[in-house]
Amino acid sequence: MTINTSQLKQKLEEELSVLEKDLKSVGRINPANPKDWEAVPPTKTLDESDPVDVADDIEEYEENTAVLKQLEIRYNEVQRALEKIKKGAYGKCEVCDKEIESERLLANPAASVCKTHINR
Ligand SMILES: [Zn+2]
């Protein structure tokens, strides 16, 4: 089975925009580092808010941080795959340099290693 790179590229671009939307819903771009995302820090303080609200705020921040971390990992994977397409290096295992199985790429266009090296 031959891989249709342009079709996979489209899939990756679609996923990237969905991920971007998700990232924006739980966080923001780190003002100090535009390549980094962060959850919006808790804004409620004990001085002006109910302690329960403050605790909720902190809990939400911690949840968002965890969600954000997962999204960010995926976002970087997808972006890296798109960069490889641009460079013409797409579909090669990063460990052994062999072609990644096409069914694997179809299931996950951002895959960066072959089946043998999934659990490296
Ligand atoms: Zn490999």
pLDDT at residue number 120: 56
Spell out the domain ranges in the chain: 5-27+48-117
Q: How many whole angstroms from 12 Cα to the centroid of ligand 1? A: 21
Pick the CATH number of 5-27+48-117 from 1.10.3330.10, 1.10.287.3510, 3.40.50.2300, 1.20.120.910: 1.20.120.910
Residue that wins the pLDDT comparison between 39 and 3? 39
Q: How many whole angstroms from 31 Cα to the centroid of ligand 1? A: 37
Q: How many whole angstroms from 7 Cα to the centroid of ligand 1? A: 23
Q: Alpha-carbon distance 47 to 61, whole Å?
A: 19
Share of the chain above pLDDT 70, in %: 98
**pLDDT tens-digit series, residues 56-91:** 999 999 999 999 999 999 999 999 999 999 999 999
Record the pTM.
0.84
Identify the band that residue 3 occupies on the pLDDT scale cut at 50, 70 and 90. confident
Q: How many whole angstroms from 111 Cα to the centroid of ligand 1? A: 11
Q: Alpha-carbon distance 92 to 75, whole Å?
A: 19
**100 neighbors 114 (Cβ within 8 angstroms):** yes
Those residues whose C-beta lies under 8 Å from the C-beta of residue 115, and which sit 6 or more positions away, are: 101, 104
Q: How many whole angstroms from 72 Cα to the centroid of ligand 1? A: 24
Q: How many whole angstroms from 91 Cα to the centroid of ligand 1? A: 11
Q: Which residues surround ligand 1, an ion (CB under 5 A)?
A: 93, 95-96, 114, 116-117
